[in-house]
Structure 1
Amino acid sequence: MQKQIDFCVKCRDMKSYTLQKRLIKQNIRGEDLTFEITCAVCEECGELMSIPGIIDLNIHEIDEQYRKLKNLVSIEDINTLMELYNIGKAPLSIVLGFGEITITRYLLGQVPSKEYSDIIRNALSSPKYMEQKLFENKDKIAMSAFKKSMVKVNELKCMFTISNKLIGVISYIFEKMDEVTPLMLQKLLYYVQGLSFALNKKEMFNENCEAWVHGPVYREVYNIFKRFGYNVIDDPKFVMFEGYKKYLSDEDKCVIDLVVNTFGQYGGKILEKTTHKESPWLSARNGYDEAIPSDEIIAKESIKNYFNKLLDDYDISKEDDLNKYILNMSNLA
């Protein structure tokens, strides 16, 4: 690989350098804060070098870390919001109750206040909230802009027919896994519910699942993701789910991590095969031939009893034992 070379002021010559992370202190709005930035370090004298683009990169790094530290929306968040609701900078500013050029200033790099950031974040995570703001300020924007945004609001509202807790679980699964198909998601949700009953002694979310031909299915979740078929779920609008992870406790996340690190390593069809050997699905499907559709509810009590029994037979709090169970049930061992 070709060495990176630039002029070193200390050495007074062209020298090779390496990029390293360094901690710096910065005073922002009267508060001393520590940030990690990228520095170009001369390989000969060890002094910092001013290479092209490094200052812009450092500004971006500090801005990104400051926003994360203070839980403020990013420029990317604002662009996503505009795309989601098909709305321009000026009308979005007015709809949210800001000055007409506020969003423009934010897109140019101005950091929003916590109050305004929370308003933007609420709109980003809730189409009902955005709908409310649109109607509040309907007479202040062009009717064409209002109608275009309302079309998007009505489309997005269909994504929020499930509980906040279940949305949080789905968002956390998306965060932890690179690729998830609708089939795999359904099975992971079922196992999250089951392990929550066994390990945390409570349900993870209140939705019921049904005993479909291909295993346990949460109907509302199916309706949200059915257009992806057997393909990986890939759509930028599901960024709207991210704010719902706040509904998860640390013990909730431990269960989801356990499921992702075990069941999540297998394909959706393997997990379907596993659920077909478990009593909750089998009991709910009693009387149905293999290929006959059903919408029978898999009783939560049945799920709880099965996974409590599983806890007696395997130490399902450990990944190794869960993997043994999966391999045994799927005939992969």
Structure 2
Amino acid sequence: MQRETDFCVECREMSSYSLQKRCVTKNIRGENLTFEITCAVCDTCGGFMSAPGIIDLNVHEIDEQYRKLKGLVSIEDIHTLMELYNIGKAPLSIVLGFGEITITRYLLGQVPSKEYSNIIRNALSSPVYMEQKLLENKDRVALAAFKKSMKRVSELKNIFIISNKMIGVISYIFEKLDEVTPLMLQKLLYYIQGLSFVLNGREMFEENCEAWVHGPVYKDVYNIFKQFGFNVIDDPKFIMFEGYKKYLDDEDKYIIDLVVNTFGQYGGKTLEKTTHKENPWLIARNGYGDDIPSNELITKDSIKNYFIKICNEYDISKEEDIHKYILKLSDIV
């Protein structure tokens, strides 16, 4: 536990303190709400101390928790929106139909209304919505600002070529895993589809995958993330995917959690090894050399039938059995 020294008004002397989480109740807009904040607690008397920066930290903690509790956009969300569309504070305010200094006020800490927060969130999650707002208010913003933002709209619309369900799955994976490479993402999607066929009795998403050199690949997903190569996917524009988790039901999330907690604990290269020993990829790649590219389809029936067969040997509803399966196919000792 972190310890620093400062003056304790109760002990009347310098004393060490520790930072601890405590719950406090605040009345905001006539409503009593409970927040978890960081407190500096004296190691000698147990009283609260006014440590440097603690008040500013508490203000930030309460603001962040209040926005989350009420479903309001954060200051970081607004910065992301500005970055996504290469637009300044005043032009963004006008484009969204607000007063010219509204966004500036929000960035300084003013909490937006639910109505205005929803407008910002819609713009953040949908380039089509942002395009509509830009066109509505075209005559109210400078031509240069309009053109820059419309260019970004065109670029961002290209990442929504996949189904809403697929976007929801990808967003949920990003939420559950801190680091995901394009290679790992492709393999997780493949296993999510396979386990969904067996455990939920239906496909997870409509997209088909192809048998590429490095394993099963969903081509449109590959095109969205190919810029990252073998590196971790890290780009603020993918915050736009967050709103698409609404297309997942509890059964979908169960499957994704199961795959993330098992296959998601291994690197992309390990998962590539497992797919290279599974019939769906092997059958589709029949006749191709190891390094010869192909775009042969891995049929959904092939995936479904294979995982039904695997279920006879492993209980793939249990994480420990899935780990056994992975270790066997990947040659990990």
Aligned Cα RMSD in Å? 1.6
Q: Is the 8 A contact 2:2 2:18 kept in 1?
A: no
| Matching of residues 79-158 of structure 1 within 5 Å | 79-158=79-158
Out of 282-291 and 184-193, give the one that drifted further.
Answer: 282-291
Q: Give the superposition deviation at 1:296.
A: 2.1
List per-residue Cα deviations over 1:28-58 (Å, max 9, x = no partner). 1111110111111122222212222221111
Identity of aligned residues (%): 79
How many pairs are equivalent? 333
List per-residue Cα deviations over 1:299-331 (Å, max 9, x = no partner). 112211111221121001111111111122223
Out of 194-203 and 251-260, give the one that drifted further.
Answer: 251-260
Q: Give the superposition deviation at 1:2.
A: 9.1
Q: Is the 8 A contact 2:130 2:153 kept in 1?
A: yes
Change (3 A) 1:275 1:56: same
Change (3 A) 1:2 1:191: closer
Q: For the residues of structure 2 that align with 1:230 and 1:155, how far apart are their CA atoms?
A: 22
Match of 1:224 in 2: 224
| Matching of residues 117-266 of structure 1 within 5 Å | 117-266=117-266
Q: Give the superposition deviation at 1:17.
A: 1.6
List per-residue Cα deviations over 1:77-113 (Å, max 9, x = no partner). 0011001100011110111111111101100101011
Partner amino acid, structure 2, of 1:153: V
List per-residue Cα deviations over 1:205-226 (Å, max 9, x = no partner). 1111112222111010010111
List per-residue Cα deviations over 1:123-145 (Å, max 9, x = no partner). 11111111111011111100000
Where 1:288 maps in the other structure, the secondary structure is coil
Match of 2:35 in 1: 35
Out of 45-54 and 87-96, give the one that drifted further.
Answer: 45-54
Q: Give the superposition deviation at 1:3.
A: 4.8
Q: Give the superposition deviation at 1:279.
A: 1.6
Structure 1, unmatched stretches of 5+, are none
List per-residue Cα deviations over 1:182-221 (Å, max 9, x = no partner). 1111111000110111111111111111122221110100
Q: For the residues of structure 1 that align with 2:222 and 2:326, how far apart are their CA atoms?
A: 24
Q: For the residues of structure 1 that align with 2:2 and 2:106, how far apart are their CA atoms?
A: 39
TM-score by length of 1: 0.95
Q: For the residues of structure 1 that align with 2:293 and 2:18, how far apart are their CA atoms?
A: 62
Where 2:256 maps in the other structure, the secondary structure is helix
TM-score by length of 2: 0.95
Partner amino acid, structure 2, of 1:17: Y
Q: For the residues of structure 1 that align with 2:3 and 2:60, how far apart are their CA atoms?
A: 25
Match of 2:74 in 1: 74
